[in-house]
Amino acid sequence: MTVDRLEFHFDGGATWLNLLATRGQSFGAHPVERLTSPGRLAEWLDRCELTPVRPPTPADLERARELRESLRGLALAAVAATPPPAALVAAASASAAGAERLVVRGDGGGPLRREPPVDTEAALARIARQALEQLTGPELHQLVSCAEQDCRWVFLDPTGRRRWCPSPSCASRGRVRALRARRRAASGPNGPGADPLSESR
């Protein structure tokens, strides 16, 4: 099965964590940017049920990317239990401060629904507020980072047992690497279990 590298991921456990996944392999040699245009940002917001009244602009796209990287830094600091950089805290706080009052309606006996954000900045403010609430709340200790060092996507793991993010490729790569390491350890560098292709990778 062919994997579309530009496909959005929505299995991080929260909208703000899914925003982090709009850039794949962030710490690798060739990161995958999935928010490639205002239209792609509009698609992502729509799938998060945050469709703004006014469509995103190029400036909004830049703001979304900047917020994403600020939240990524805060998330990784939280996982590592290290003090977060003050500049990232300030940036996320400034974004969250723009969140408008949440209005919900249940007209006609139907389910509750949120009023849509007026623009992309307001949508991003809701995401920033969600992130800061989670980073300072009881779910903080459920945040984990993918063990693949080129990925390091932070996601929610209530079980506390996951090593890799929900992306199948990370788990596959990690298991293959672990298997090769076990074989090398069991056979020695030149034994029968050594990987004959390891020198060429």
| Phi and psi based region of residue 146 (left: phi greater than 0; alpha: psi -120 to 50; beta: remaining) | beta
- Amino acid at position 102, single letter: L
How far apart are alpha carbons 109 and 26 in whole angstroms?
45
How far apart are alpha carbons 182 and 172 in whole angstroms?
15
Whether residue 39 is contained in a domain is answered as yes
The CA-to-CA distance between both ends of the chain, in Å, stands at 23
N residues, the chain: 201
How far apart are alpha carbons 62 and 12 in whole angstroms?
22
Whether residue 194 is contained in a domain is answered as no
pLDDT tens figures, 70-129: 999 999 999 999 999 999 999 999 999 987 777 777 666 677 778 889 999 999 999 999
Per the structure, the count of domains in the chain is 1
Whether residue 40 is contained in a domain is answered as yes
Residue 130 is part of which domain span? 15-166
Torsion of CA 168, 174, 178, 179, to 10 degrees: 40
Whether residue 107 is contained in a domain is answered as yes
How far apart are alpha carbons 27 and 19 in whole angstroms?
16
Whether residue 179 is contained in a domain is answered as no
Percent of the chain with pLDDT over 90: 67
Q: Minimal CA–CA distance to 140: which of 99, 80, 67? A: 80
Whether residue 4 is contained in a domain is answered as no
Whether residue 26 is contained in a domain is answered as yes
Work out whether the CA dihedral 91, 95, 96, 98 comes out positive or negative.
positive
CB 147 within 8 Å of CB 164: yes
pLDDT tens figures, 30-77: 999 999 999 999 999 999 999 999 999 999 999 999 999 999 999 999
- Amino acid at position 84, single letter: P
In the predicted structure, residue 2 carries a pLDDT above the cut 50: no
CB 198 within 8 Å of CB 180: yes
pLDDT tens figures, 176-200: 666 666 677 777 655 554 444 333 3
Instruction: Specify the DSSP element, H or E, that contains 187.
Output: helix 168-187
- How crowded is the C-beta side of 1, counted as CA atoms within 13 Å? 5
pLDDT of residue 197: 38
